[in-house]
Amino acid sequence: MNKILIIEDDPAVSKGLEISLKKESYESLTESDGEKGYQTALKIKPGLILLDIMLPNKNGFDICKDLRLNGHNFPIIMLSAKAEEADKVIGFELGADDYVTKPFSVKELMARVKAILRRRSVILNEFDNFTFDDVTLDFAKLEAMKGKKKIEMSLKEYEILKYIIRHEGNIVSRNDLLDEVWGYESFPTTRTVDNYILMLRKKIEEDPSHPKHILTFHSAGYKFVK
């Protein structure tokens, strides 16, 4: 696996992360400057990024946004002292795969790292391609096209799509999605699921306000229809 990139300007935090990752047999690389961290991510294509929000020269939100806009699907765990729900929602909407509030339990963070990497391995190895209408999904390469236009999606969006496609024709509850895609009890709520579904509809539906593929069943959940 490629190295885990730590973008964190607090030396004590970054050092602790390096030690913990090494104990779990992960190689890591640390950058303390936001812009340098962003450029390093582009260069080394990390297996996962541990990303602080408050960074010099380029904040974590902008790093996450720019990576996703440029089609990079590295898993991203945001680390922040900002515990407000609004900040967490912003992080998820920008494409973060997880959001951990400081101070955090290193043991719990390592469990989240393992869970994300495990789910990434599953999504890459289960089934490769799926097509409906003019949308083509390549789960092996984590690439998506709508007609001739590339669709930019985060790993979390691919995970959600793959799960509901796997259960095509059946209603999937919001709690099922939380358990399967996030894999633990944490900040994500049913509202988070709804926000991701809205984003996916904007990307794959012809008319997001009248979807024909990702259908809502109020109080029950969602159903994918090809």
Classified by CATH at the fold level, domain 129-224 comes out as Arc Repressor Mutant, subunit A (1.10.10)
Q: Which residues contact 82 (CB under 8 A, 6 or more apart)?
A: 53, 88, 101
> Helix, strand or coil for residue 63?
helix
Confidence band (pLDDT; 50, 70, 90) for 81? confident
| CATH class of the domain comprising 4-122 | alpha beta
Give the helix/strand (H/E) hosting 196: helix 190-204
What are 84-120's pLDDT values in tens digits?
Answer: 778 888 888 888 888 888 888 888 899 889 888 887 7
User: Mean pLDDT over residues 10-39, rounded?
Assistant: 95
Per-residue pLDDT at 187 exceeds 60: no
Residue at token pair 């049913």 = 190
Confidence band (pLDDT; 50, 70, 90) for 201? very high
Residue type, 89: V
Q: Which residues contact 223 (CB under 8 A, 6 or more apart)?
A: 164, 169, 170, 171, 172, 214, 215, 217
Residue at token pair 């962003």 = 38
Confidence band (pLDDT; 50, 70, 90) for 57? very high
Per cent of the chain over pLDDT 70 is: 93
Per-residue pLDDT at 125 exceeds 70: no
Q: Domain boundaries in the chain?
A: 4-122, 129-224
Confidence band (pLDDT; 50, 70, 90) for 74? confident
- Rounded distance between C-alpha atoms, residue 224 and residue 226, angstroms: 7
Residue type, 83: A
Report yes or no: 73 and 154 within 8 Å, Cβ to Cβ: yes
